[in-house]
Structure 1
Amino acid sequence: MNHPEFATLEQFTAQALSAGFDEVLERQWPPRTVLDTHTHPFALKAIVVQGEMWLTVGDATQHLRTGDHFALDREVPHAERYGEVGATYWVARRN
C-alpha cells in the first residue's frame, strides 16, 4: 500500500516511536463488525490503510476511509463500525 506520509508500516512505526508512542500494530477488522461504546487504557493515533469505518465519539461520527487519520485520548468512550469489506488500520498506542 502506498500512502503519501507513510509508504510502509515500518515508516509509520519509526515516526510513532520517535513521537513518544510505545506500541505499534496493524489491526484488521472483518466486514460489518460493530463495537459498542467502550474505552481503551491508552491514547492512540491511527491511519486507515484499507476499507472504511465509522468512529463515534459523543454525538459526532467520523466516516474514515483509506488514507484518513484518527486519534483518541486514553479512556475516551467511543464506538466503531466497519464497512462492507472491513478495515485495516495502523495504530500507535501510548500506554
Structure 2
Amino acid sequence: MERDEFIDALKREGFAEIVTVTHDAQGTLEDHAHPFEAKALILHGQLTLRTGDMERVYRMGDVFHLHANENHSERFGPDGVQYLVGRK
C-alpha cells in the first residue's frame, strides 16, 4: 500500500492521530500494551511483532493492526524500522 492511500484509509476509519515512528537496528521492546488502537504501514526496514503465541515479520508495504490494550513485543530488523501509524 502507498503512503497517501494509507493515510486516506486511516482518516476514513477514524484514526485522528497519525505519526511516523522510527526505531534503531536490532532494538527490542519487551511485552507492553498501548491504551489506543494502532494501525501502521511499514515505510522502511523490518519489524517482528509477537502477540500471544503468534509472531509475524512485517516489511516495507505491509500493514499491521493492534487493538487497544493488546499485549505485544517488538523486534527491529538489521536496518531498523520506520512506520506510519494511526492511533485512536
Q: 1:16 aligns with which of 5, 10, 20?
A: 10
* Structure 2: tracts of 5 or more residues without a match: none
Q: Look up the match of 2:32.
A: 38
2:44 matches 1:50: yes
Q: Look up the match of 2:53.
A: 59
TM-score, normalization by structure 1: 0.86
C-alpha RMSD of matched pairs (Å): 1.2
- Give the C-alpha shift of residue 7 in structure 1: 4.1
Q: Look up the match of 2:85.
A: 91
- Give the C-alpha shift of residue 76 in structure 1: 0.4
Counterpart code for 1:6: E
TM-score, normalization by structure 2: 0.92
- Report runs of 4+ in structure 1 exceeding 6 Å deviation: none
SS in 2 for 1:50: strand
> Structure 1 residues 93, 7: closer, same or farther in 2, change over 3 A?
closer
- Give the C-alpha shift of residue 19 in structure 1: 1.5
Q: 1:82 aligns with which of 42, 54, 76?
A: 76
The number of equivalent residue pairs is: 88
Q: Look up the match of 1:6.
A: 2
Once residues 92 and 12 of structure 1 are traced to their aligned partners in structure 2, the CA distance between those partners, rounded to angstroms, is 10
- Give the C-alpha shift of residue 16 in structure 1: 1.2
* Structure 1: tracts of 5 or more residues without a match: none
Identity %: 32
